[in-house]
Structure formats: C-alpha cells, structure tokens
Amino acid sequence: MDITFFLNRNLDIPLYQQLYQLLKENMHEGRIQKGMKLPSKRLLAAQLSISQTTVERAYEQLAAEGYIVSKPRSGWFADYDGSDFVHIKMPSTSSIKLKAQENEQMIDFHYGNVDSAHFPLSAWRKSMVNSLDQYGHVLYRPGDVLGELELRALIGEHLYQSRGVHCLPEQVIIGAGSPVLMHLLCQVFGPNITIGYEDPGSARSRKIFEANQMKILPIPVDHEGICIEEIQKERPSLLYVTPSHQFPLGTIMTINRRIELLKWAAQNQTFIIEDDYDGEFRYSGRPIPSLQGLDQHNRVIYMGTFSKSLLPSLRISYMILPALLLEKGSEITSLYKQTVSCHSQLTLAEFIKNGGWQKHINRMRKLYQKKRAILLETLQSELGRHVKIRGENSGLHVLLDVYSPFSEKELIEKAEEHGVKIYPASVFYTKQPPTTTVLIGFAGVSKDNIREGIKKLKAAWNI
C-alpha cells in the first residue's frame, strides 16, 4: 500500500512521533484495517523523504502498543482489534454483503431499469473484438468531436427507417448520456431564455435547464399531449417535450397535436426539443412519426439514447441538430471533445452493422410486452378497483393512481416494509399532483417478481 502523509518539519514534535500519530489515527478511523500490510521501512522512508530510522522508531512504538506486528520475511502488518479502537466505524465486508443481499431481495420497480439479464453479452463481446480488428489503428487518435462518423451514419439510417427522422451524419452528435447533451444544448442557447416544459415532466431534465439559468415555464398536459393553448399564452423561446411516451404520464401525443405544435414553432421561429427517450417500445396502435420527421421547417432538435434499448451503463446518447444550429452546436461540442470513448462507439457501430442491435430490440420488445401484460393482469386481479392504471400503451413504466387513505409517502414506505420498492410521481410536478400516484417500472423485474411484488403491495396497503 502507498501512504502519503504530510509531516511538518517546522513543528517541535519529532517526525517519528508525527508518523506514529498519523498511522495510529488511520487505524482508529478504519482506513488501515487488521491484516493490511504496511510499506517496508525503506519504501516508506523514500515515499515521505525521511530516514529509515524515523520510520523504524514509529513502527517500534506502534508495535509496542499492539497496533502492528512484524512477520519474519513478510514485513509489518496492522494487528489491532477494531472494536477497541475504531471511532469512525467503517463498514465491514460482512455488513456490505448483508446490505447487498437485502437489496437483491427487494423487488425494485424502478422506472429507469432495463432487463440486463437478457443483454447479449456474447454478441457484444464479438463486436468489441471485431471493432478492435477493424479500427484498432485509429483508437489512439482524438476522434471527431461530434462522435465517430461510422456510428453517426448508422444512427441516421436507423432513425429514418424506424422513426421517420431526416438527417445527415453531420447533424448527429454523440454524448455520454442525455444529461450531457442537454447541457451542451443549454450552452448553444445561452442563459436567461424561457423554456416551455411539460408539467408533469422529467425532474432531472428540468434541473439541468435550471442549473443553466433557463427560466422554466410549466405547461400542462392533456390526453393529446402538451397543451397548445397554454404554449401560445406563455410564448416560450424554447420548448421541451416527450411526445412518444410523455414522461411520466405515458401520453402518446396525437398526430393533430404534433402538427399544431410544429405549426406554432414555425410561425414563432422557435425550436422544439423532442426527447424520444424510449421510443422503441410501443404496444398498441399504429406508430406515429417523430416530430422531427414531420417537421418541414427545421425547428426540431431530436434526442435519443441507447440506455433503454441496451444498457444505461453504456452511457451512449445522441441528438440531431437542425441546420441552423449546426455551427454553434459544433463549436460548443468541440470544447468537450468526445465524451464517449472511441472504442465504445465503434463497438456499438459494429453491433448495429452486424444486426445484433436490431435482433436485441426485437427480442426485448417481445419480452417487455409479456412483462407488461403480466403487470396489467396482476394489477387488475390483485388491486382491481383500488387503483387506476395510466400510460400503459408505451414505454417501460406505468402510473398507478391509488385510491387509499395513505399518502404517497406512506404507500412507498409500507411497500418497502414488505420488500417492494416503488417511486413517487409528485417529484415530476411543479405543484401538488391531483391524485395519489406512484410509478412502477417493469422492465428490470422478472415475470415471477412482477406477480409477487404486486401481491406484496396488496398486503402492504391492506387492499
């Protein structure tokens, strides 16, 4: 182990005494635990620029007090009973394992989780190796600041076929997650502008805009999507919407509302940010083209991510800028260079080219549709008239209006007492929501645990 201490040579306290005291404090605080090997006298003397004699005297004092022990031909080792000395208790390995086991036993209906057990690791590994063979000679280069051209071109092709998006590879910017790209976008528009925001809407996105000194104008959402009358009344300089699966309500914006919205943007020379965060997953009705695909006046900024279709931990998202914003967007992006590793991007490009991604998407659509059906069926059979389900036709979560004397907080606490984690809807509203509502995500929960979790909710809520 390396030890870096500041020994003050201007003090009257001898250096060996300072070293002794610092080592003892680290043992008291649990930073140096029983069984850890200490540096040799020669090595520690070199690290701290002191004599070996100084280190020897400190070690001898610690050994005399039972803090450390010398083992022949092995070195010095910490040797103390933590229960006697530790003031700041460090978590033990057993307690960490116990906490992990408790979390594993919880049925977690988090709306941001995906089914990682079905991630095609073997195919991804093969794509990773193939990308090294194909692009290994360019991995040492800085790379295009907008992202690897191979991946940007493939994203453009996929979006045209699946979402009706029209773009050139030069319009696509790759980023390490949607928050990074939203931050870049804020730099493009600058502070102090007004942005119309769905209410309720994504709390994280709203906080990013607020952190960049944008003024949030909450706009209500009805059964067709964001309310156009309120937009016309508030007249924001920028608009943020989630039309494919309104977050968190799950509303799918109608084609008529989309056309009205685009007409308003063109007339007012305003840009719309279309966040298509989980547009790959739709379970009923005919697909509706994206706003960007319907746009005839280049007023839509399209945002998407691979977090839902692959894994959140990959941290690969993208946005498509209209031609009018390309120069400014490229200038801002160049300050950050590539925020996603070149190798990760080229691995994903290879994964898309060899058909691995489309195959995975098709498989996950079927799986999530089955999970959704199980969730809806179990909610109906177990909770019945005590709940109302909303937003079930798209995406990876549903809203649950709960008819109960318990508050939102109490519902969540009682669920956790029974081994189930659900999430509040109130955090997405600027005002108090009209109903007692919770969010339930189903993508990251097994089929059996979906059934078991809902049964536990019934017991927890005395329904």
Q: How confident is the model at residue 157 (pLDDT cuts 50, 70, 90)?
A: very high
Query: Residue type for 331, please?
Result: E
Percent of the chain, pLDDT > 90?
A: 76
Biggest CA–CA distance in the chain, Å, is 84
Distance CA 4, CA 48 (A): 7
Query: Residue type for 262, please?
Result: L
Across the chain, mean pLDDT equals 91
Indicate whether 408 and 273 sit together in one domain. Answer: no
Mean pLDDT of 350-363: 94
Q: How far is CA 239 from CA 7, 186, 271, in A?
A: 57, 12, 7
CATH number of the domain that 269 lies in?
Answer: 3.40.640.10
| Of the residues 306, 333, 354, the one at which a domain ends | 354
In the block, tokens 């955090």 appear at 427
Indicate whether 175 and 134 sit together in one domain. Answer: yes
Q: Token digits for 201?
A: 């809407």
Question: Which stretches of 337-407 are DSSP H helices?
Answer: 342-353, 356-382
Distance CA 29, CA 70 (A): 22
Q: Return the sign of the alpha-carbon dihedral for residues 311, 316, 319, 320.
A: negative
Distance CA 242, CA 206 (A): 13
Looking at residue 104, its pLDDT comes to 65
Tens-place pLDDT, residues 26-46: 888 888 888 899 999 999 999
Tens-place pLDDT, residues 383-425: 999 999 998 887 899 999 999 999 999 999 999 999 999 999 9
Indicate whether 234 and 375 sit together in one domain. Answer: no
Looking at residue 97, its pLDDT comes to 52
Domain for residue 48, yes or no? yes
Indicate whether 235 and 340 sit together in one domain. Answer: yes
Cβ–Cβ < 8 Å for 240, 197: yes
Cβ–Cβ < 8 Å for 174, 318: yes
Question: Is the pLDDT higher at 6 or at 383?
Answer: 383
Q: How far is CA 17 from CA 12, 73, 324, 394, in A?
A: 10, 26, 67, 67
Domain for residue 211, yes or no? yes
Tens-place pLDDT, residues 82-127: 554 444 444 555 554 555 555 668 999 999 999 999 999 999 999 9
Residue among 420, 329, 432 at smallest CA distance from 102? 420
Looking at residue 100, its pLDDT comes to 52
Query: Residue type for 355, please?
Result: G
CATH number of the domain that 385 lies in?
Answer: 3.90.1150.10
Looking at residue 433, its pLDDT comes to 86
Strands (E) located in 66-134:
68-71, 75-78, 107-108
Query: Which string of DSSP letters, residue by residue, matches 199-228?
Result: ES--HHHHHHHHHTTPEEEEEEEETTEE-H
Indicate whether 395 and 373 sit together in one domain. Answer: yes
Looking at residue 121, its pLDDT comes to 94
Mean pLDDT of 211-228: 95
Q: Phi/psi zone of residue 183: left (φ > 0), alpha (ψ -120 to 50 degrees), beta?
A: alpha
pLDDT at 81 over 70: no
Indicate whether 221 and 344 sit together in one domain. Answer: yes
Distance CA 52, CA 49 (A): 9
Domain that holds residue 375: 105-109+359-460
Tens-place pLDDT, residues 251-287: 899 999 999 999 999 999 999 999 998 878 877 667 7
Looking at residue 91, its pLDDT comes to 54
Decide the pairing of beta strands 75-78 and 300-305: unpaired
Residues ≥6 apart with Cβ < 8 Å to 119: 310, 311, 360
Q: Return the sign of the alpha-carbon dihedral for residues 53, 57, 59, 64.
A: positive
Indicate whether 25 and 49 sit together in one domain. Answer: yes
pLDDT at 154 over 90: yes
Cβ–Cβ < 8 Å for 113, 443: yes
Tens-place pLDDT, residues 313-334: 999 999 999 999 999 999 999 9
Q: Token digits for 346?
A: 């080229």
| Of the residues 301, 334, 354, the one at which a domain ends | 354
Looking at residue 86, its pLDDT comes to 42
CATH number of the domain that 62 lies in?
Answer: 1.10.10.10
Domain for residue 3, yes or no? no
- Count: domains in the chain: 3
Backbone Cα Rg of the chain: 28
Q: Token digits for 176?
A: 């390490």
Indicate whether 254 and 296 sit together in one domain. Answer: yes
In the block, tokens 């009923």 appear at 284
Question: Which stretches of 391-446 are DSSP H helices?
Answer: 408-417
Domain for residue 92, yes or no? no
Cβ–Cβ < 8 Å for 268, 300: no
Tens-place pLDDT, residues 159-191: 999 899 999 999 999 999 999 999 999 999 999
Question: Is the pLDDT higher at 82 or at 18?
Answer: 18
Strands (E) located in 8-158:
68-71, 75-78, 107-108
**Which residues pair with residue 198 across a beta bridge?**
219
| Of the residues 320, 335, 354, the one at which a domain ends | 354
Looking at residue 409, its pLDDT comes to 96
Strands (E) located in 290-343:
300-305, 317-320
Question: b or e along 117-137 (b: 16 or more beta carbons within 10 Å of the residue's beta carbon)?
Answer: eebbeebbebbbebbeeebee
Q: Token digits for 357?
A: 């991604």
Cβ–Cβ < 8 Å for 143, 242: no
Q: Return the sign of the alpha-carbon dihedral for residues 261, 266, 267, 272.
A: positive
Domain for residue 98, yes or no? no
Indicate whether 193 and 319 sit together in one domain. Answer: yes
Distance CA 429, CA 445 (A): 26
Decide the pairing of beta strands 68-71 and 387-390: unpaired
Indicate whether 81 and 124 sit together in one domain. Answer: no
304 burial type by CB count under 10 A (0-12 exposed, 13-18 middle, 19+ buried): buried
Domain for residue 2, yes or no? no
Domain for residue 5, yes or no? no
Looking at residue 396, its pLDDT comes to 92
Indicate whether 344 and 369 sit together in one domain. Answer: no
Domain for residue 280, yes or no? yes
Indicate whether 325 and 373 sit together in one domain. Answer: no
Residue among 172, 442, 191 at smallest CA distance from 333? 172
